[in-house]
Structure 1
Amino acid sequence: MAKEWVKLGYEVRIIAADFSHLRRINPQINKDFEEEMIDGIHYHWVHTIKYDGNGIKRALTMFQFVCKLMFHAKKIARKFKPDVVITSSTYPLDTYAGQRISKFSNSKLIHEVHDMWPITPIEIGGMSEKNPFIVILQKAEISFCKNSDYVVSLLPFAKNYLIEKGMEKDKFIHVSNGVSKDEWAESLKIQSEKLKIIKELKDRVDLLICFFGSHTKSYSLDYIIKAVKKFENVGLLFVGNGIYKKELMEMSEDNNNIRFIDPIPKKSIPDLLKYVDVTYIGAVNNTMFRFGISMNKLFDSMMGGKPILYAVNAPNNYIESYCCGISVEAENVKALEAGIEEFLNMSEEDRLKLGNNGKNAIKENFTYESLAYKFSKIF
């Protein structure tokens, strides 16, 4: 998104912690607010402690980061003179720093919601609403709802929940994830040894289904394995790594049509999708999905022009909306088997039509170029 704002002529500065468990490589800095220019974006790194998992150290980094920004808020406002301040962390605590910077710079304040905290650790993590950490997050949530000029969310059905927390209904804007046209234009070829495995599998089956991404239980990967095992002429390709991969490989030992390859660069996904017939997007039932979903792998699959076998229980179903695959009940092996059977009986022409429907939907609605422009309309 920030890259596209730069293209639109905006000066974009991102203040971020120097450590995140989501990054493969974290920056090495000598002082707080050390600046680094990447793709035309000014990054200002703030030192925070390192952590593993979701324990006390991660919570401490949140407070450490926010407190440093609040302490330096006036300096940040005077030095950078922002017209718009966007707070966009998993947790809502950064609203306090954003509000302070916005006050000193007399700028517009936008809060972005991409993970529903604190309700997620309550419902999924089992944390008590009376837990002191949760109480602090709840107060921050109410604060951003009441004090932000706009609230932008990846999740289209979060609006009513946020209204209950104090947000005015006209302040809500939905902006989903999407696809970078630049990344697809600069795609990389798959390594030859991995391509050999893919082609060998493709040659001996009538239908090749592919899952790419993190191998975790949340994506219902055991269900697709059980479903594919019912067919002698269907192949299943897993691309990626994850804590569940070893168990999945053990489940598949008795089936030569289920293969695993190591992760590929994101820029190789366009090349990967040239060699498969169908992509699989699944997820275990999750109460948080009532707010909607915005999976990156879903948009990549659609952009790849391949039909999707979709098994997710969420109110925003792009597979049905854009007629780009087959949608079945989540966590249901029999439903997946029926979906696979339907793909097998479908002509290549009809599968291509479904794939093109998804690709056209992305080009028309979900490129970061168009999404960034939509977001910028509230600047």
Structure 2
Amino acid sequence: MTQRRVLVLNHFAVPPGYPGGTRHVELFSRLPGWSYVIIAGRRNMITGQPQRAEPGFHPVAVTPYRGNGLGRVLNWASYAVTATVSGLRQPRPDVVYASSPHLLAGLSGCVVATLRRTPFVLEVRDLWPRVLVDMGTLAETSLAYRALERLERFLYQRSDRVVIMAPGVRAAIEGKGVAPEKIVFIPNAADPDDFVPSADRDELRRRYRFTRRTAVYAGAHGPANGLDLLLAAAKAVPEIDVVLVGSGVEKPRLQAAALGIRNVRFLDPVPKTEIPDLLHAADVGVHVLADVELFRAGVSPNKVFDYMAAGLPIVTNSPGTVGDLVMGADSGYVTSPGHLAHGLGQMVQASPDELAKMGAAGRGWIRENQSRTAMSHALGRLLAPLVDEAGEAPR
């Protein structure tokens, strides 16, 4: 049987074992009968370090940037150019699969798919440009918003399928004129078998210097993450230590803002292979987002699934999709965006047995309902008919 090829465009993807987004490596590597090449930016968004080519992973040159200004937009544009050139030089794929958040990656995928005459799948990680308006980054009346909104509609029209990662996104995309049967739900996921620690808990707690009940936030430090809310909650609940692990444009400012909050500590990003150890050493996993209405229904956060797979009880300030997940799995506490301190306080008061019960419930839920293997099978069911349809259509 001939192996089929999928070309994946994801600006911010990283190879296995590194800090950052490994969704596509983990999904496509589990897909029998398929080979894959992921085209990503050459610089790791979290660590700032260069990324090298590995089997199935092809980094391309992008311009450097700091902050959220023009340099960041040029970085996106440079990826669109170099990814398109690289995609056209790859062996002809059977499917082109492009992932947002920024729409220029989708445009690059659309161009490659059109020129190579292959099906095009667009994955929507964030509802651009709507999320930029809701966060106050763009005005709805601005020229930039109107241009991005036109590009968004164009990509929806040209795609053969649109993959969404949160169920609440479906209505918004259908509202742009996308047929319901064209939209496929494949959320983020995690496998408990990937979260086996390398040492016992006492040793790991000594390694990370966790001496009291400790809540860990492991993820990006950007405007959307609302980490000022976490700092305020930590200050209000001094009985629990809060450790923020990761990087992002907001980190230096957050570190300055945390001076004097004695129960807050920042750690550098850790490799993906170290995440099981970090989470096993912690007592609580924290998920926090800025107070943006769109986030109630439009997110599928990796960190929540990682916490569940690691058996870690969760506190989230995101009611809606995430909150319903945590409550439905009995795996933690949900608060309103500005009341994260209440959730941390609940975790302080919980007994070790109660924490273990919540962690075990989350771990069981993710194994039964949303493992990487199950999501990979869903991806296979999406891709195979596209190839068959393309094979029947005239070239």
Q: TM-score range by the shorter chain?
A: 0.7 to 0.9
Equivalent residue for 1:31? none
1:283 to 276, 285, 289: 289
Deviation (angstroms), 1:344: 5.0
Q: Which amino acid aligns with 1:260?
A: R
SS state of the match for residue 14, structure 1?
A: strand
SS state of the match for residue 117, structure 1?
A: coil
Equivalent residue for 1:41? 56
Q: Does 1:357 align with 2:361?
A: yes
Equivalent residue for 2:14? none
- The 1-side partners of 2:321 and 2:79 are apart by 35
Deviation (angstroms), 1:282: 2.6
Residues 1:152 and 1:252: Cα distance change in structure 2 (over 3 Å): same
Q: Which amino acid aligns with 1:5?
A: F
Q: Which residues in structure 2 correspond to 1:1-379 (within 5 Å)?
A: 1-7=24-30, 8-19=32-43, 21-22=45-46, 24-27=48-51, 36=53, 38=54, 40-43=55-58, 45-67=59-81, 75-76=88-89, 80-179=91-190, 183-185=194-196, 187=198, 195=206, 198-199=209-210, 201-202=211-212, 207-214=213-220, 218-219=226-227, 220-229=229-238, 234-240=239-245, 242-247=251-256, 249-253=258-262, 258-260=263-265, 262-263=267-268, 264-317=270-323, 318-332=325-339, 336-337=341-342, 339-340=343-344, 342-343=346-347, 346-379=350-383
Unaligned runs of 5+ in 2: 1-23, 384-395
Percent identity over the alignment is 21
Residues 1:252 and 1:353: Cα distance change in structure 2 (over 3 Å): same
- The 1-side partners of 2:86 and 2:354 are apart by 58
Deviation (angstroms), 1:243: 2.5
Residues 1:193 and 1:246: Cα distance change in structure 2 (over 3 Å): farther
Check whether the contact 2:215–2:241 (CA below 8 A) recurs between aligned residues.
yes
Whose relative contact order is higher, 1 or 2, with alpha carbons under 8 Å and at least 6 apart? 2
- The 2-side partners of 1:96 and 1:351 are apart by 45
Q: Which amino acid aligns with 2:68?
A: N
Task: Give RMSD over aligned pairs.
Answer: 3.2
Cα offsets for 1:329-360 (capped at 9, x unmatched): 22126xx34x4554455443333221111011
Cα offsets for 1:62-85 (capped at 9, x unmatched): 334434555787x54xx5221111
TM-score (norm 2): 0.76
Q: Which amino acid aligns with 1:221?
A: L
Q: Which amino acid aligns with 1:321?
A: G
- The 1-side partners of 2:78 and 2:243 are apart by 39
Q: Which amino acid aligns with 1:218?
A: G
Tell me the matched-pair count: 350
- The 2-side partners of 1:161 and 1:125 are apart by 19
Deviation (angstroms), 1:218: 0.8
TM-score (norm 1): 0.79
Residues 1:185 and 1:51: Cα distance change in structure 2 (over 3 Å): same
Q: Which amino acid aligns with 2:28?
A: W
Residues 1:364 and 1:47: Cα distance change in structure 2 (over 3 Å): same
- The 2-side partners of 1:221 and 1:198 are apart by 20
Q: Which amino acid aligns with 2:34?
A: Y
Q: Which amino acid aligns with 2:320?
A: A
- The 1-side partners of 2:186 and 2:126 are apart by 13
Residues 1:129 and 1:353: Cα distance change in structure 2 (over 3 Å): same
Unaligned runs of 5+ in 1: 29-35
Equivalent residue for 2:392? none
Q: Which amino acid aligns with 2:170?
A: K
Which moves more between the two structures, 258-267 or 368-377?
A: 258-267
- The 1-side partners of 2:86 and 2:355 are apart by 56
Cα offsets for 1:123-166 (capped at 9, x unmatched): 31432334343333222100111121110122221111111222
- The 1-side partners of 2:334 and 2:47 are apart by 32
Check whether the contact 1:292–1:314 (CA below 8 A) recurs between aligned residues.
no
Q: Which amino acid aligns with 2:317?
A: A
Rg: which structure is higher? 1
Deviation (angstroms), 1:180: 5.2
Q: Which amino acid aligns with 2:334?
A: S
Which moves more between the two structures, 277-286 or 295-304?
A: 277-286
Check whether the contact 1:285–1:313 (CA below 8 A) recurs between aligned residues.
no
